[in-house]
Structure 1
Amino acid sequence: MNDDITLVLGATGNTGRRVAARLRLRETPVRTASRSSPTPFDWFHPAGWDRVLREVTTAYVVPPSVPGPVHDFVMRAEAAGMRRLVLLSGHGADDWGDSAFGRHMRSAEDAVRGSTLEWTILRPSNFDQNFDGPPFRVPLAAGELALPAGAVPEPFIDLEDVADVAATVLSEPGRHAGRVYELTGPHALTWAEAVELISRASGLPIAYRRVSPAEYTATLVQEGWSEGEAQELTEMFVLLERGVTAWTTNDVATVLGRAPRTFEDFVLRATAAKAWQR
């Protein structure tokens, strides 16, 4: 059994809770940390970081929603004796240019690359599970998903594959040092095609409608999103329409030795779980 402690930040989030569970099955000592966990962690209250970092050798980091804090966290982690860090970022970040989307992820990447830690960066595409959870499950269950996305496809990836890759990388010191893994599904689909697959498999009448970025932002604000959150999500779609994330990779297979799960497989599992039943 490995006695080194692996810290999982964002431990109640989409990837964090999955990664922590996989590490426990591998009998890896895990310290889970989030704002609501027994070991509390808040990106905006660094006074509590030293307790979280005590005796930690490896960390899985999901960056906060604003640029900057990861730089301070990395310096604190180095001083505490941490040796390795795996960072969650976004697919194709090198090609995002001056987009307003993802500045927090690019800032976090800069912090990690400039550190003395052994680092690995994971860059997944949009998650399959966005369709059976926030932010798309509710509109799909209501019968229509309206987004500012057209004919440019997206290589959606299953969260289970992202977690499998993260847990494997965290468990194999040295092997993945300095690597950037672009994690995608095996093929790309347009958002309309994804909705069509969900409608067919579930037997529910669900339509896709393309809207303008401005209309989408306004809808999100009406639904209770803050102006900043709404603009950030809209800017993601503006970026996707440039085609800079439409490409697929073999990086899941490189790490795991198997192909990634298909979007169709996700749809079948979610349909069996009645994800979109009204």
Structure 2
Amino acid sequence: MSLPSVLVTAATGKTGRRIADRLTDLGYPVVPASRRAEPSFDWAEPASWSPALHGVDAVYLCYYPDLAAPEAPALVEKFTAAARDAGVRKLVLLSGRGETNAQRCEQIVADAGLAYGIVRASWFAQNFSEGNLLGPVLAGTIALPAGTVAEPFVDVDDIADVAVAVLTDDRHNGRTYDVTGPRLLTFAQAAAEIATASGRDVGYLPITAEQFHLALVAEAGPDYARLLTDLCVEVFDGRNASVGDGVRRALGREPRDFADFCRQVVAAGAWPPPVTASAADR
């Protein structure tokens, strides 16, 4: 008997590509959905959804750019209806911890009339190694409007492991997993751990939301800059300063620690050691 097929949205992203790889290794047929896929899948183009949903049993639902976007609830509701009409049996939503719009989307998925699971994740540790903060890490200054707030940074590999478990095992149906790392760290403490592991001079600079927005506009454009700024203002108020038990509940093990993440990134070469003056002169 063949295993059911799984549609993985955002299949080239941090979580999507890990989930697709894990499912493929387990023998599940995977339909990778992204704007780079053939045929292309685009959240802003509902006509592109139907070919991807055809014949699919389960969906990993990762909305891009973020569930915090104003249009996200309406599009997620439309997508869940399309999935139901296509005969999809299960939806697994990647949700954002402490995000108002994400909570709305969680309820939409729960009310869709399908089997479902919610993976509610805290701030990704991999944002420092694969995302928008890699450049600042390499430049030596992580500037964010986070003040002294603490976050339980979660390793994306843990998110992928939980999502795969929910996608492939019906014992997880109807459950919400609050997926975080095992301890709280301020961004200053996270920068210090990155510096210790990498040997690089890395620090944290608390800035205002206005400063963050202005700096981001040139890099990411006004729309994305506004989305990220508003999201930071919403979640960096201490609401997420607690550790969740989702990894333990879903997988029966402890989540990976931020220090282990740092060592893994250094071993992979994403934070190369600084070039010394003498080495540069050779």
TM-score of the aligned structures, taking structure 1 as reference length: 0.91
Residue 80, structure 1, aligned to residue 75, structure 2: no
Question: What residue is the counterpart of 1:109 in the other structure?
Answer: 106
Aligned AA (1:74): T
Distance 1:53 1:216 in 2: 38
In structure 2, the partner of 1:92 is 98
* Equivalent residue number for residue 42 of structure 2: 42
Q: Which residue of the partner structure matches residue 125 of structure 1?
A: 122
Give distance in 2, aligned partners of 1:55 and 1:133: 33
- The answer to whether the 8 A contact 2:197-2:266 is kept is yes
| Identical-residue share of aligned pairs (%) | 40
Partner of 1:100: none
Query: Which moved further from structure 2: 29-38 or 233-242?
Result: 233-242
Q: What residue in structure 1 maps to residue 279 of structure 2?
A: none
1:226 aligns with 2:221: yes
| Corresponding residue of 2:191 | 195
> Is the 8 Å Cα contact of residues 147 and 207 (structure 2) preserved in structure 1?
no
Shift of 1:107: 4.2
Q: Residue 149 of structure 2 is aligned with which of 128, 149, 152?
A: 152
Distance 1:239 1:44, change over 3 A: closer
Counterpart CA distance in 1 for 2:134 and 2:194 is: 11
Please tell me whether the aligned partners of residues 198 and 267 of structure 1 are also in contact (alpha carbons under 8 angstroms).
yes
Whether the 8 Å CA contact 1:152–1:240 is kept in 2: the answer is no
- What is the root-mean-square deviation in Å for CA atoms of aligned residues? 1.5
Give the equivalent residue in structure 2 for 1:176.
172
The answer for unaligned runs of 5 or more in structure 2 is 66-70, 275-282
What does 1:38-77 correspond to in 2, within 5 Å?
38-65=38-65, 66-67=71-72, 68-77=74-83
Q: CA deviation at 1:56?
A: 0.9
Q: Distance in 1 between matches of 2:82 and 2:229?
A: 34
Structure 1, unmatched stretches of 5+, are 97-102
Runs of 4+ in structure 1 deviating by more than 3 angstroms, as ranges, are none
Structure 2 counterpart of 1:205:
201
For residues 89-148 of structure 1, give each alpha carbon's deviation from its aligned partner in whole angstroms, at most 9, with x where no partner exists: 11134xx4xxxxxx3x34432321221111111111011110012211111111111111
1:25 aligned onto 2:25 = yes
Aligned with 1:140 (options 133, 137, 140): 137
- Please report the TM-score for the alignment, with normalisation by the length of structure 2: 0.90
Counterpart AA for 1:182: D
| Residue of structure 2 in register with 1:273 after alignment | 268
- CA 126–2 in structure 1, closer or farther in 2 if over 3 Å, else same: farther
CA distance in 2, matches of 1:170, 1:2: 16
Deviations 1:167-221 (A, max 9, x none): 1111102x12221111000001000000011111211112211111111111111
2:215 counterpart of 1:236: no
Mapped partners of 2:64, 2:122: distance in 1: 18
| Secondary structure class of the residue paired with 1:185 | coil
Are the equivalent residues in 1 in contact too, given 2:150–2:185 (CA < 8 A)?
A: yes
Q: How many residue pairs end up in the alignment?
A: 267
Per the alignment, residue 277 of structure 2 pairs with none
Distance 2:200 2:52 in 1: 46
Contact conserved, 1:50 with 1:76, CA < 8 A, in 2?
yes
The separation in 1 between residues aligned to 2:88 and 2:173, in whole angstroms, is 14
* Deviation per residue, 1:61-89 (Å, 9 max, x gap): 10233322111111111111111100011
Q: Would the aligned equivalents of 1:32 and 1:39 in 2 still touch at CA under 8 Å? A: no
Q: CA deviation at 1:50?
A: 2.0
User: How far off its partner does 1:240 sit?
Assistant: 3.1
Q: Is the 8 A contact 1:128 1:263 kept in 2?
A: yes
In the other structure, the counterpart of 1:99 is none
